[in-house]
Chains A and B, each alone.
Chain A
Amino acid sequence: MLLLRKFRVHGHSMEPIIGNDKLILVSKIPYLFSRPKVKDVIAFKNGKEVLVKRIIKISAGNYKVEGDNLKDSLDSRSFGSVSKTDILGKVIYIF
């Protein structure tokens, strides 16, 4: 289990807080002690890709996520909810 990972963001769906080509740090540590919460920005597996979005709703252990840039985001509105096992961690730092 990787506790701290660095990612480069491709895409604009998390603007303005995370712009295209920004580096972010993602950590599993916050979720060792508590569950993911609404408003957390998370990285998660979606098929072969890793995506970054914000949790907007939690129901029955499933997490509905959306990009902050709602006009331009591929998220739970298209692919449904994310399960906890697919969550890689919380975005804890934006370079």
Chain B
Amino acid sequence: MKIIFRFLLEKLLNENTVYAHCDIPCGIYDPHQAQLAAHTIIRMTSLIHEMKADINAPFEQRKKIIHDISRMTKVKEKHSDILEEEMNTLRNDYFKEEHFKEYANLQELFAKALKSSAKARQEIDMEAAQDALVKVQEIAEIFFKTKGVEPVRVKTVYPTGGEIVLHK
């Protein structure tokens, strides 16, 4: 009965938007943190891939490998959290309906960034980690455009190489 009631409500009524706004509206938003998090996820994924396991290695050596992988995984997990939180803040608090109308792919970019971040968190997946960064960078470019400044891609000095989106 509850399922039927819920189904009818979901299908019969038009959906509107209501805001449970967060934060005092300080107006301070920046996609920088999400980009750093995406680079960190790539770096941790790469380091985990580089670990070599030797089944005949002494116990102390194997113990250290397990320990190091645990720490890298923890950092990867933490930065997926940061990326997802930063993305949700931009999507829910900064970007408005007119932005989503002007940039028709923006919602899809958010969905893909979050999906790739989740996959990079769950697995040791360099492709997903790279994709999360690509999507975050595209969102960063849109963000700066909505601020009326020109986005620029700058080569990073991180071990991950690649770029980071800033503005002129």
Chain A residues within 8 Å of B, Cβ to Cβ: 4-15, 18, 20, 23-26, 43, 49-53, 67, 69, 72-75, 77-78, 93, 95
Q: Is the CB of B9 within 8 A of A25?
A: yes
B17 cross-chain contacts in A, Cβ below 8 A: 7-8, 10, 50
**Chain B: interface size category:** 10 to 19
Main secondary structure, interface of B, reads mixed
Instruction: State in angstroms the CA–CA spacing of A20 and B87 once bound together.
Output: 13
Q: Is the CB of A51 within 8 A of B18?
A: yes
Determine which of B9, B21, B25 lies in contact with A6 in the assembled complex, contact meaning CB atoms within 8 Å.
B9
B19 cross-chain contacts in A, Cβ below 8 A: 9-11, 49-52
- Tell me how many residue pairs across A and B have CB atoms closer than 8 Å: 87
Q: How far is the CB of B7 from chain A (nearest CB, A)?
A: 11
Q: Is B105 an interface residue (CB 8 A)?
A: no
Determine which of B6, B20, B88 lies in contact with A51 in the assembled complex, contact meaning CB atoms within 8 Å.
B20
B16 cross-chain contacts in A, Cβ below 8 A: 5-8, 50
Are A74 and B18 CB-contacts (below 8 A) given A11-B93, A25-B9?
no
